[in-house]
Amino acid sequence: DVLVTPTAIGGKAKVVTADITADNGVIHEIDKVIATRSLLSDTIAGKACDPALAATVGTLCAAVRSSTTVEVALSDVTGSFTVFAPNNAAFDALATKLDLSQATDLLPLPELPDILLKHTLGSKVLAATALTLDNSVQPTLHTDDEEKIVVDGSTGEVLVTPTA
C-alpha cells in the first residue's frame, strides 16, 4: 500500500487504483483529499475560510482560493502578515461598480490576485500598533513594489488608503 499524509479529514490517504496512465503522466486514485497547509494550520488563508466567518468574509475565502499565488502566500506558516480583509459587502460593492452580477463574478478577473496582495502587508501589525501610525506608508505583497498603502490611526480609527 502507498499512503499519503496528511489528509483534510485526518488519517492517511490510500492509493486505491494505481498507475492510470495518460499521455502526459500518471494518475493514482486515492480515497481521501490531501490537505493544504491552510486546512492544517491557523494561517490567514485557513482563517479566512473558517465557516464561522463566512457571513462576514466568505467572499474573501473564495477569492483567496481562486488564486494559487494568494493562497500559497497566505498559507505560508513561516511568514508574518497583516491582511486588511475586504468583507462581503466590500466585494459586493466592487462587483456593482464593475457592473458584475455578483461578487463571485470577480473571481476569474486576472487582476484579483494583485488586488488581494495589495491588501496584505509582509509584517504583523496589530490594531493597537496601527492606531499609533500617522499616515504611514506601508509596502504590500503586490507584485509592483510601488503599490503601497497608507495606514493612519491618528483619528482613533484605522484608515487604509492606496498611495496610487
Q: Distance between CA atoms of 44 and 39, rounded to whole angstroms?
A: 10
SS3 125: coil
> Is there a contact between 66 and 108 (Cβ–Cβ < 8 Å)?
yes
Q: How many CB atoms lie within 10 A of CB 73?
A: 21
pLDDT at 110: 94
Report pLDDT digits (tens) over 37-56. 545 557 888 888 888 888 99
pLDDT at 39: 53
How many helices (H) and strands (E) would you count in the chain?
7, 8
> Is there a contact between 112 and 66 (Cβ–Cβ < 8 Å)?
yes
pLDDT at 72: 85
pLDDT at 106: 94
What does the mean pLDDT of the chain come to? 84
Instruction: Provide block-wise average pLDDT over 10 residues at a time, the chain (164 residues).
Output: 50 74 81 62 82 90 92 84 93 94 94 93 91 93 85 90 82
CA distances to 57, 88, 93 from 97, rounded to whole Å, are 19, 14, 6
